[in-house]
């Protein structure tokens, strides 16, 4: 067997030059590539293995910061002909940390559009036991025990990084005595996949590298850290330290120092309501059986009266998120959404609502959208829509506004500034704004020659939109919480567990608050408050996570009083722990229905999801 061995202190790696498999020993424990894995990539749907290269060379890699092995692959025959593609892989141990880096670097690009690269592959991880588990950041977070009886391979957005399928760009595996975390250092063009068939005894997880505008383009890096006697909490704390090093960890205290509205926001009741609904006959959601339900207008004055009612019930803190305030109606004709809905009172009615919110010291926030590009928008121009490297433009008619495509994100900050300049001119006093889908959907790329854009640039344009809001003392929000946007966001619509938003989400794994274990003191996450869900009373999850609570302003009488009582329970805890790191989560006595969180200020929250009870202990 041909092997290349490299070691430093407590870490050693072995590259099998025949199979290209890896074996790593660290902290006295050995991890190795799963036996059937072979590094590969795709070109025109053709699967190409690394070892199909006409020439493969291996070299030692010794620098002032680490040691390892460099492998060069060239001379590929792609689509039946010789191709210019060549690339190198470098696997090396960092002297300072003993982290193991895997780097994939193009040397010469292919003459063709390349597809995904699958390297390095999954680790061998086979034993049917609950204490062998895989950790993934699908939404708030999941554990997949090896004895999990369901198929756990379905990940939202196909596991693309920088989307709801990966709130953070890392994954890990834990077994008795040993664990590792794999941190994707270039997440904008990356994804991951999980394989755990129903009733199986193993779980595979690995990274894949997406082409950037059809090319490998630049060096891709994932680093692994190997730990001894660790669990998922330890993996989260490793990543928290990494996020701090990368300036992603910006705390609420830091954000409040720049914008005092942040402090006012903590403890607020989150009220989500709307003004105008219009569902196009082209829309997936159009109700043909009851066409009268496709249009509705609620005057601004009605929402103003509802806010006044909450004030009269003694609520001191309210955050109003208003959908459908523009003349076209919710999810219609973006980005040409102005003026304010004329049927609901127009600019005068919206201004009256914003003025009253200011008088009551409530926070007024609106919904807006700068990705969906509707064909009937006044300034729609197909030249500014997104186009793929293959020359395709997406078009569909799912949402309320009917036929649409996506606008290239390079245009989003420009349209946002145009629209908000007019909102300011009209005297609308905003302290919050929700920019839809930016933190839920995957980053886009665009090959139009006028506004070519990589996925990384797409995220920068989206962040520019958030930062425009912050510069105007407006709390920035988006659909879901996500790692890359943490420095610019204060809140999000939610940061849910998969079972709360996905069909069969409860079969995907055991829900755990991975995101909050890293970023709890950096963002305020609201939680739905449904009391009668199969997975338990959602208020208990709000308490467990030290989050904020939604409140239904349409309720009245005893129902409203109950809503307010439940909100106050959550808000009282949130005001105590919002600025505190979540330091630990655990399942009490190994029972998934009994959970405990601990915060840096000493607060402990215990919930029993089966009994519907909770206990809060504060020091």
CA dihedral (62, 65, 67, 71) positive or negative: negative
Average of pLDDT values for 508-522?
A: 98
pTM: 0.97
β-pairing, 526-527 vs 548-550, is: parallel
In Å, how far are 8, 10, 28 from 124, measured between CA atoms?
23, 21, 17
The yes-or-no verdict on residue 619 having pLDDT over 80 is: no
Strands 475-480 and 432-435: parallel
- 506, 509, 513, 518: CA torsion to nearest 10: -140
Confidence of residue 535 (pLDDT cuts 50, 70, 90): confident
Q: Name 351's Cβ contacts closer than 8 Å, sequence gap at least 6.
A: 426, 427, 428
Q: Looking at the predicted structure, is the pLDDT value of residue 322 above 70?
A: yes
Q: Residue 1 has what pLDDT?
A: 61
pLDDT in tens, 108-156: 999 999 999 999 999 999 999 999 999 999 999 999 999 999 999 789 9
pLDDT interval class at 481 (50, 70, 90): very high
Angle in degrees, CA 511, 514, 515, rounded to 5: 120
Instruction: List residues bridging with 435 in a β-sheet.
Output: 368, 478
Each residue's pLDDT tens digit, 330-344: 999 999 999 999 999
Does the pLDDT value for residue 25 go beyond 90?
yes
Q: What is the average pLDDT across 474-479? A: 98
Average pLDDT over residues 79-96: 96
d(CA 99, CA 222): 10
**For 370-400, what is each residue's pLDDT tens digit?**
999 999 999 999 999 999 999 999 999 999 9
**SS3 label, residue 319:** strand
Which of helix, strand or coil describes residue 148? coil
Average pLDDT over residues 468-482: 97
Domains in the chain, ordered, with CATH? Answer: 3-245 (2.70.98.10), 268-486 (3.20.20.80)
- The mean pLDDT of the chain is 97
Question: 208: Cβ–Cβ under 8 A, 6 or more apart, which residues?
Answer: 116, 117, 118, 190, 191, 192, 193
Q: Can you give the pLDDT at residue 488?
A: 98
The dihedral sign for the CA sequence 279, 280, 285, 286: positive
d(CA 276, CA 295): 8
**pLDDT value at 237 more than 70:** yes
Closest to 474 measured CA to CA, from 256, 261, 270, 225: 261
* Euclidean distance between CA atoms 60 and 90, whole angstroms: 9
Average pLDDT over residues 561-587: 98
- % of the chain with per-residue pLDDT over 70: 100
State yes or no: pLDDT of 504 exceeds 90: no
- Cα angle 282-283-285, degrees, rounded to a multiple of 5: 140
Residues 36-59: what's their mean pLDDT?
96
């Amino acid at each position: 067997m041909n092997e290349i061995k490299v070691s430093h202190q407590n870490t050693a790696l072995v590259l099998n030059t025949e199979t290209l498999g890896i074996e790593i020993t660290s902290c006295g424990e050995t991890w190795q590539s799963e036996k059937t894995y072979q590094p590969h990539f795709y070109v025109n749907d053709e699967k190409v293995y690394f070892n199909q290269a006409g020439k493969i060379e291996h070299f030692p890699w010794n620098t002032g910061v680490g040691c390892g092995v460099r492998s060069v692959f060239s001379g590929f025959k792609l689509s039946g002909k010789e191709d210019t593609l060549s690339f190198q892989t470098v696997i090396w141990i960092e002297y300072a940390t003993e982290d193991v880096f895997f780097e994939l670097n193009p040397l010469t690009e292919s003459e063709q559009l390349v597809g995904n690269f699958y390297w390095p592959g999954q680790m061998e991880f086979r034993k049917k036991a609950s204490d062998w588990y895989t950790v993934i950041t699908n939404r708030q977070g999941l554990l997949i025990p090896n004895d999990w009886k369901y198929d756990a391979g379905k990940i939202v957005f196909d596991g693309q990084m920088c989307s709801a399928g990966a709130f953070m760009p890392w994954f890990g595996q834990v077994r008795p005595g040993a664990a590792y975390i794999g941190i994707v250092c270039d997440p904008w063009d990356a994804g991951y996949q999980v394989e755990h068939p129903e009733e199986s005894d193993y779980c595979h997880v690995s990274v894949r590298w997406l082409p950037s505008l059809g090319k490998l383009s630049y060096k891709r890096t994932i680093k692994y850290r190997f730990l001894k006697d660790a669990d998922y909490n330890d993996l989260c704390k490793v990543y928290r330290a990494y996020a701090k090093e990368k300036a992603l960890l910006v705390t609420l205290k830091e954000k409040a120092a720049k914008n005092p509205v942040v402090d006012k926001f903590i403890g607020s009741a989150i009220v989500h309501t709307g003004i105008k609904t219009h569902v196009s006959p082209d829309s997936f959601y159009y109700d043909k059986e009851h066409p009268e339900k496709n249009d509705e207008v609620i005057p601004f004055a009605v929402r103003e009266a509802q806010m006044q009612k909450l004030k009269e019930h003694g609520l001191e803190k309210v955050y109003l998120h208003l959908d459908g305030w523009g003349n076209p109606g919710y999810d219609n004709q973006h980005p040409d959404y102005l003026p304010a809905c004329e049927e609901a009172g127009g600019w005068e009615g919206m201004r009256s609502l914003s003025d009253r919110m200011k008088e009551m010291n409530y926070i007024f926030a609106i919904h807006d959208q700068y990705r969906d590009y509707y064909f009937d928008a006044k300034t729609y121009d197909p030249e500014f829509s997104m186009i793929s490297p293959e020359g395709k433009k997406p078009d569909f008619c799912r949402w309320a506004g009917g036929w649409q495509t996506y606008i290239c994100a390079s245009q989003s900050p420009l349209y946002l500034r145009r629209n908000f300049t007019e909102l300011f001119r009209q005297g609308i006093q905003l302290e919050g704004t929700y920019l839809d889908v930016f933190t839920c959907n995957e980053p886009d790329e665009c090959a139009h020659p006028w506004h070519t854009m990589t996925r990384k640039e797409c995220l920068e344009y989206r962040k520019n939109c958030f930062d425009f809001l912050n510069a105007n003392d407006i709390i920035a929000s988006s659909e879901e919480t996500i790692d890359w946007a943490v420095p610019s966001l204060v809140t999000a619509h939610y940061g849910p567990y998969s079972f709360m938003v996905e069909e069969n989400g409860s079969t995907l794994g055991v829900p755990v608050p991975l995101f909050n274990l890293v970023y709890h003191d950096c963002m305020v996450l609201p939680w739905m408050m449904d009391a009668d869900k199969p997975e338990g009373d959602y208020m208990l999850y709000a308490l467990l996570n030290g989050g904020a609570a939604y409140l239904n302003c349409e309720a009245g009488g005893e129902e409203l009083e109950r809503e307010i009582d439940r909100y106050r329970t959550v808000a009282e805890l949130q005001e105590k722990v919002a600025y505190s790191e979540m330091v630990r989560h655990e399942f009490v006595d190994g029972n998934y229905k009994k959970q405990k969180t601990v915060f840096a200020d000493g607060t402990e929250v215990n919930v029993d999801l089966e009994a519907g009870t909770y206990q809060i202990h504060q020091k």
